[in-house]
C-alpha cells in the first residue's frame, strides 16, 4: 500500500494550478498528489517521476498524464525531450513511501526482517549491506554523524565493524543487533530509525539528488511558476529553506548594489506549513512533514 498523500490540499493550493498548464509531480509514489493535480485541470499535461520501478504499477490512465521511471534530478532533460519545457509548477513529496517501508524485502524498515537493501531503484548502485560491510570506520562515522545526526557515531561505527568482522551483516535484524548496544535506553526505535535513515540517504545519494533537482527545477520553471516541496527531516528541509531564501542550498544571500537579493526564486512561505492534529491522527506519517513554497521570479 502506498501512503496517503501528505498536506494534499495545502500543496495543491500552493501550486496555483492553471487548468491548461504543464505540471510535474517529481515524486509520484502512489499517485495521490498526481490524481488531485489532474482533478484541478481541464486540459494541460502532467509529468510524474519516480525511480522506483514498483511505482509503475500505479500509473494513471489519462491522456494528459505521463509517468517517467527516472530520478527527479533529470527533470530538465525529460521535460525538454517531451517538449514540456518550461513548465508551470513542480511538486515534490520527499522521503520514502509506506509501500517501500512495508515491503520487507526492501530493507527500509526497522520493523521488518529483510535483506539490507535500502535502494529506491534496486537495478543500480550499492546496497545498504554493501555500505555497512565495506565502508571504513571513518566513512561510517561521517555518514552516521552527517546523515543520521547520531551523537555517538564513532562508537556506532566501531560496533558495526566489530560485528561484521565476526560475520557479514546481510539483514535488517543483523544491523539492528550490531547497533543495539549503542542506542540510548528507552530511545531504541528512534535511534535505529536514525541509523537506517543515514544508510538510506547514503545509498540513494538523496541529498545530492535533491540539490541537483532544486537547481534544475528552477531552470525548468516559467517565470511566476511555483515549486512546492514537502520534506520529512531537517537535512532536506534545510536545503529547501536555503534554496528558496537565497537561490542556493548553502543559504548564501547575494545582493545587488541596491540591497536586493539576487536569486531566480523567492520564498512564498516564511515558515513551513505543517499538518494539523487531525491529519496527523489520520496519517501518522505526516507528523514530521514540512511544506515550503517558492516562486520563480
Please give the residue that has the higher pLDDT: either 77 or 101.
77
Q: Which residue has the cell 518550461?
A: 86
**Considering only 1-15, 103-117, 143-157, 184-198, which range has the smallest mean pLDDT?**
103-117
pLDDT of residue 20: 96
Q: Is 295 left (phi over 0), alpha (psi -120 to 50) or beta?
A: beta
pTM beyond 0.75: yes
- For residues 141 and 154, the answer to whether their CB atoms sit within 8 Å is yes
Burial of 167 (0-12, 13-18, 19+ CB in 10 A): exposed
* 75 and 195 inside one domain: no
Write down the mean pLDDT value for the chain: 93
Q: What confidence score (pLDDT) does residue 163 get? A: 98
In a domain, 103, yes or no: no
Question: Of the candidates 32, 71, 3, which has an alpha carbon nearest to the alpha carbon of residue 11?
Answer: 32
Residue finishing a domain among 153, 176, 204 = 204
Which one of 170, 204, 238 terminates a domain? 204
Give the pLDDT mean for 23-50: 96
Give the pLDDT confidence score for residue 165 in this predicted structure.
98
Task: Verify that 14 and 76 share a domain, yes or no.
Answer: yes
Measured distance CA(268)–CA(22) in Å, rounded: 20
**What is the chain's Cα-based Rg?**
20
CB neighbour list of residue 184: distance below 8 Å, 6 or more residues apart: 191
For 254-261, what is the mean pLDDT?
Answer: 90
Strand partners, 272: none
State whether residue 187 is helix, strand or coil.
Answer: coil
Q: Beta-carbon neighbour count of residue 30 at 10 Å?
A: 20
- CATH code for position 45: 3.40.50.150
| Integer CA distances (angstroms), 142 to 37, 146, 172, 196, 245, in order | 40, 6, 21, 14, 28
Which of 111-115, 146-150, 216-220 shows the lowest mean pLDDT across its residues?
111-115
Domain shared by 39 and 93, yes or no? yes
Mean pLDDT of 273-278: 97
Q: How many CA atoms lie within 13 A of 15 on its CB side?
A: 29
90 and 58 part of one domain = yes
> In which band, very low, low, confident or very high, does the pLDDT at 125 lie, cut at 50, 70 and 90?
confident
| DSSP symbols for 8-24 | HHHHHHHHT--TT-EEE
Looking at the structure, tell me whether residues 118 and 200 fall in a common domain. Answer: yes
Query: Among 21-25, 180-184, 280-284, which is the least confidently predicted range?
Result: 280-284
Asked if residue 143 belongs to a domain, the reply is yes
Band (pLDDT 50/70/90 cuts) for residue 4 is confident
Residues 163 and 198 in one domain: yes
Average pLDDT over residues 111-139: 92
What is the tally of structural domains in the chain? 2
Q: Is residue 70 part of a domain?
A: yes
Q: In the predicted model, is pLDDT for residue 123 greater than 50?
A: yes
Is 3 among the domain residues? Answer: no
Question: What does the pLDDT average to over 160-182?
Answer: 97
177 and 90 share one domain = no
| Residues 40 and 85 both lie in one domain | yes
* Residues spanned by the domain of 227: 8-98+206-296
Cell representation of residue 138: 571513518
The domain that holds 148 is classified in CATH as: 1.10.150.170
Say yes or no: 94 and 214 in one domain.
Answer: yes
CB 228 within 8 A of CB 291: yes
Which range has the worst mean pLDDT, 109-113, 186-190, 256-260?
109-113
What pLDDT does 105 receive? 63
Assess if residue 2 is contained within a domain: no
Arithmetic mean of pLDDT, 22-48: 96
Report pLDDT for 107.
Answer: 62
Whether the pLDDT of residue 85 is over 70: the answer is yes
User: What confidence category does residue 1 fall into, taking pLDDT thresholds of 50, 70 and 90?
Assistant: very low
Strand partners, 228: 91, 293
Amino acid at each position: 500500500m502506498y501512503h496517503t498523500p501528505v498536506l494534499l490540499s495545502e500543496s495543491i493550493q500552493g501550486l496555483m494550478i492553471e487548468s491548461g498548464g504543464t505540471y510535474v509531480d517529481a515524486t509520484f509514489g502512489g499517485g495521490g498528489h498526481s490524481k488531485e493535480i489532474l482533478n484541478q485541470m481541464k486540459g494541460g499535461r502532467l509529468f510524474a517521476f519516480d525511480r522506483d520501478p514498483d511505482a509503475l504499477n500505479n500509473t494513471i490512465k489519462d491522456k494528459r498524464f505521463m509517468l517517467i521511471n527516472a530520478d527527479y534530478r533529470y527533470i530538465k532533460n525529460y521535460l525538454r525531450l517531451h517538449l514540456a519545457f518550461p513548465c508551470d509548477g513542480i511538486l515534490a513529496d520527499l522521503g520514502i513511501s509506506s509501500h517501500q517501508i512495508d515491503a520487507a524485502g526492501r530493507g527500509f524498515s526497522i520493523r521488518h526482517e529483510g535483506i539490507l537493501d535500502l535502494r529506491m531503484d534496486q537495478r543500480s548502485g550499492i546496497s545498504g549491506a554493501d555500505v555497512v560491510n565495506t565502508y571504513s570506520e571513518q566513512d561510517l562515522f561521517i555518514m552516521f554523524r552527517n546523515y543520521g545526526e547520531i551523537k555517538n557515531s564513532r562508537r556506532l561505527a566501531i560496533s558495526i565493524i566489530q560485528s561484521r568482522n565476526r560475520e557479514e551483516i546481510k539483514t535488517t535484524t543483523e544491523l539492528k543487533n550490531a547497533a543495539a548496544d549503542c542506542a540510548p535506553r528507552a530511545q531504541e526505535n528512534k535511534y535505529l530509525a536514525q541509523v537506517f535513515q543515514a544508510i538510506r540517504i547514503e545509498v540513494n545519494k538523496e541529498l545530492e539528488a535533491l540539490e541537483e533537482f532544486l537547481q534544475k527545477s528552477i531552470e525548468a520553471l516559467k517565470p511566476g511558476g511555483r515549486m512546492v516541496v514537502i520534506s520529512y527531516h531537517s537535512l532536506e528541509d534545510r536545503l529547501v529553506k536555503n534554496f528558496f531564501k537565497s537561490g542556493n542550498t548553502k543559504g548564501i544571500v547575494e545582493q545587488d548594489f541596491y540591497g536586493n537579493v539576487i536569486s531566480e526564486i523567492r520564498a512564498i512561505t516564511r515558515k513551513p506549513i505543517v499538518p494539523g492534529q487531525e491529519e496527523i491522527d489520520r496519517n501518522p506519517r505526516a507528523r514530521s512533514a514540512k511544506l515550503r513554497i517558492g516562486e520563480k521570479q
